[in-house]
Amino acid sequence: MKLVGKKVLVTGGSGFIGSHLVESLVTKGCDVRVLVLYDTGPIFGFIDSMPETIKQKIEIVTGDIRNSDDVKMAVDDVSIVFHLAALVGIPYSYSHPRSVIETNLIGTLNVLLAVKEKKIEKLVHTSTSETYGTAKYVPIDENHPLQGQSPYSASKIGADKIVESFYKSYDLPVATIRPFNQYGPRQSARAVIPTIITQSLTKKIVRLGALFPTRDFTFVQDTVDAYIKIAESDNTLGEVINIGTGQEISIGELAKKIIKLTGSSAEIVCDGTRIRPEKSEVDRLLCNNAKAEKLIEWKPNVSLDQGLKKTIEWIKSNLSSYDPDNYAI
């Protein structure tokens, strides 16, 4: 199935990954609608910073995925749905588990019900490598046990299982993308790479949580390419597909690399206020992407150094959007 000329909906399309996906879909020739959370402040997120040639081709609808009527309105007359809307902050989920669980579970259920009712051609649902928890073996394939080590990861496990149930119960045309850690331009300071970059550029000390955990980082444009390939492939229905590079780096080594790339001489300090609860910390994430290569012929194209350089340059140009003095959750 080719996406060119298709009308598509992106929930969460004003966010980090969503905004990059929206741009790629517009460039590809799709008729793109974006569901944006209604707020009293600026509501269009990164859509506002897109080129006018892109923005003019986007239909924006406001609403809340927790509201079934909003979701039904957004899904009406589209062919493909990319579901990215979620509350994603792990530290935030410790303080506000109800909000995270309601948004990620009820929101996903509303999307599934609307897709079922409107007979949508395909739904691509977004999972996360956090559902795996600390690796029991590496590299982590799609058969790895799921572990709810934070309210956020538990909410995503629940959402993934509801998606699975709709595929098995109703033959809903759905595929689940499970990205490992993402980075790139536009990412918020809730994520570790922007946190390190902004402090490296402005401070003499880079304050982080635990330095020993390892992560598998994928540049956002590679992830967007995977979304599109999953949507277009007939081989992905009912499947969960890992997206990652197959390479890992510890947070401490990542910080050293970024400090060097920014030309900083900042000192790295482990800040106790940023450390996850002991049993909640995910010690190791390393992706097995063999299934993605087999089903959709996907491989990452951007190396970590290349992606970090692009991200550093973007953050340098948008430093006023960040507050390195505060710990964003």
Q: Which two tokens stand for residue 240?
A: 């969960």
Cα 127–chain centre separation: 8
List of residues 6+ apart from 31 with CB closer than 8 A: 5, 6, 7, 8, 57, 59
Instruction: List the catalytic residue out of 152, 167, 227, 322.
Output: 152
Give yes or no: 152 in active site. Answer: yes
Please, where are the H alpha helices in the chain? 16-28, 52-55, 68-75, 90-95, 97-101, 107-118, 151-170, 192-202, 220-232, 251-262, 290-296, 304-317
- DSSP per-residue string spanning 175-189: EEEEE-EEE-TT--T
- Give the side-chain half-sphere CA count within 13 A for 293: 11
User: Which residues are catalytic, by number?
Assistant: 152
